[in-house]
Chains A and B, each alone.
Chain A
């Protein structure tokens, strides 16, 4: 218990940015817009949230700046892939590089610290929240420990992240907007025939995607770590993309997939625990690669077929 709890605690914290990004991709791809720019949006949000938090000392202003940066990149993606019907994948690649380059460039200009922000202290970071009775219950074996160490003691964004899962499910599967959003990803012509704007719906989805990526990036720089460093998203956007496919574009499964991939990341930080569990030394590199390998296996359809939204990646051209 003493061994596994810290690993599970790390799992939760590492899974949250993946979860936000995964749900972001879920909204976008369910509406038929492929988004391989999750990584870039996260990175941009991480930088701007840390930068504003460092300058103003307020993590909330930082969060807003992060979301704004992410939405800006979303807007570029929307204009390229919805308005001008460009290639969504190429646009995503461009956005990733744009974020990777601009964040370092601006960081160097603003802070002169070699492409990083100053370390965030005090109110410039998200503080951990102790849930009620966590202290009192920590003595209770197992349940008390789990409550005090695993469930309590995270930043607010962690709890927001978990709440986003039922919220996403509810929006997508229990509201009219969600029905239309899913329809536009499967058969945009039908939605258009019903007199609903495909362009507006897709922009809305891409916008939500921007907000969620903003949360992911802000959590990365102001919750998980204290400040921005160059390339700090380090492939998380792509792991989130993998998780999205793993979850077959469904919100609850997205939670499980990101927790699984978060667990793998947590394990690769603790090779000693891995050796204890599996009784054999496991190369760290194998654990690092495991999310990608699992995704390829899923994509190959050997273990349940992952079928993406039907109109994904296709620009919608209205018939005249």
Chain B
């Protein structure tokens, strides 16, 4: 018997965790001598009150949806993929190679190819830790951490020694051909005559991200493979008994996870900078952890959590622009969200479970009490 109803598990517990995380974030803002209410007002003003702000918010959201989904898929197989950062970096390499390979005539051709390239490279980068976990029992958390650092070195080497155009000083690839430029929201909405700021880099990748949410939902809850992944995550021994191969599930789940993280590059590399630079991922791979935890590894939850973090990210940028609060506030909020929705989940969950159990016991007692008194009447 479940200790509490499903709605409490899915909504109430995460909500309370987030409220606690934000409460502590407010305390941090107070502690550095700023006003939390003013801070929130500045953040909302900078991210949600103009098409410019929304544009950036949704741009960041797109990144976080991809990395959040990546972490979620691995979570379902009870694996913790900290390597989203490295996989997204390598995904950027894949996207850049596809974009630079041909003089693409139109983005409708370039986007699927680049998506494939990014996903492939991301998946390949996840494949090695996955294989080592599946075949040799090396802990996937440690190997994916190591692969983040290795990815950084690999990319650094390639950008400096291979992809840097002659005569250029900064470690970055050449600018992609114009045919690979993805339409931004201002272009898309302009067709319908809706004005939207042209400055923010939010682009058609946002819709790809939403499609990816739907795809992950289909995969996890409507296919045999998704069922096997979830079964494996719940109980490895039961899954093995049911004829599910741990090797296969570990590999497949991590490949999908890496592909999703790598696919992020269509947004930040192809959609925004139009060339591959060194720190293109900007920590989005790590934010994916917070997003997946907060979204309870469900695509809908991931979407909402990514939106919240998109708002925080853009709001945080505005905050550092207009106030004395540095951008790193977002890192603190991210840490607190991970702490309370992830590591301290039991702290929030146990009292709520106890409250529900007590309420149920009281109700039972009352019903039992009524049952006794009835015949006497």
Chain A: residues with CB nearer than 8 A to chain B?
A: 36, 76, 79-81, 84-91, 93-98, 100-102, 104-106, 108-109, 115, 235, 238, 241-242, 245, 283, 285-286, 288-289, 292-293, 295-296, 299-301, 308
Cross-chain contact A289 with B150 (CB below 8 angstroms): yes
Known contacts A84-B347, A104-B328, A296-B132, A90 near B338 by CB under 8 Å: yes
CB distance from A257 to the nearest CB of B (A): 14
18 contacts between A and B (CB under 8 A): A36-B141, A84-B343, A91-B342, A91-B344, A93-B289, A94-B336, A101-B329, A101-B330, A102-B332, A104-B328, A105-B32, A105-B326, A105-B329, A241-B145, A245-B142, A289-B149, A296-B143, A300-B138
Known A80-B339, A89-B82, A104-B328; further 10 A-B contacts with Cβ < 8 A: A36-B141, A86-B345, A86-B346, A86-B347, A90-B343, A101-B328, A106-B32, A283-B161, A288-B153, A299-B142
Partner of A285, one of B28, B146, B156, B345: B156
Residues of B within 8 A of A (CB): 28, 31-33, 80, 82, 128, 132, 136-139, 141-143, 145-147, 149-150, 152-154, 156-157, 160-161, 286, 289, 293, 324-326, 328-336, 338-339, 342-347, 350
Alpha-carbon separation in the docked complex, A264 to B166 (Å): 30
In the bound complex, do residue A81 and residue B343 qualify as a contact, i.e. CB atoms below 8 Å apart? yes
Within the complex, the shortest CB–CB distance from A18 to chain B, in Å, comes to 14
In the assembled complex, the Cα of A286 lies from the Cα of B32 at a distance in Å of 41
A84, B346: Cβ atoms closer than 8 Å:
yes
The distance in angstroms between the C-alpha atoms of A259 and B293, with both chains bound, is 37
- Do B32 and A91 touch across chains, with their CB atoms under 8 A apart? no
Number of A-B contacts (CB under 8 A): 152
Q: Please, which residues of chain B bring their CB within 8 A of the CB of A91?
A: 339, 342-344
Report the Cα distance A235→B80, complex, angstroms.
19
In the complex, which of the residues A93, A104, A245, A285 contacts B326, with contact meaning CB atoms closer than 8 Å?
A104
Residues of B near A295 (CB, < 8 A) are: 142, 146
Minimal Cβ-Cβ distance residue in A for B287: A97
Known contacts being A106-B32, A308-B139, is A101 close to B335, with CB within 8 Å? yes
Complexed CA–CA distance, A242 and B152 (Å): 16
Partner of B332 from the list A87, A97, A289 (CB cut-off 8 Å) is: A97
**Min CB distance, A46 to chain B, in Å?**
15
Task: For A115, list chain B residues within 8 Å (CB).
Answer: 326, 328
A304 to chain B, nearest CB (A): 13
Task: Point out the residues of chain B lying under 8 angstroms from A283, CB to CB.
Answer: 157, 161
Q: How far is the CA of A177 from the CA of B160 in the complex (A)?
A: 52
Closest-CB distance, B74 to chain A (whole angstroms): 12
Q: How far is the CB of B70 from chain A (nearest CB, A)?
A: 15
B328 A109 Cβ-Cβ under 8 A = no
Set of chain B residues within 8 Å of A90, measured between Cβ atoms: 80, 289, 293, 338, 342-343
Complex alpha-carbon distance, A81 and B345, angstroms: 11
Contact of B28 among A87, A102, A293 (CB under 8 A): A102
Q: Are A97 and B150 in contact (CB under 8 A)?
A: no
A95 to B276, CA, bound (A): 30
- Chain A residues with CB under 8 Å of B329's CB are 101, 105
Cβ of B149 and Cβ of A93 under 8 Å apart?
Answer: no
**Cβ contact of B157, chosen from A96, A286, A299, cutoff 8 A:** A286
Q: Cβ of B336: which chain A residues have Cβ within 8 Å of it?
A: 94, 98
Q: Which residue of B lies closest to A40 (CB)?
A: B335
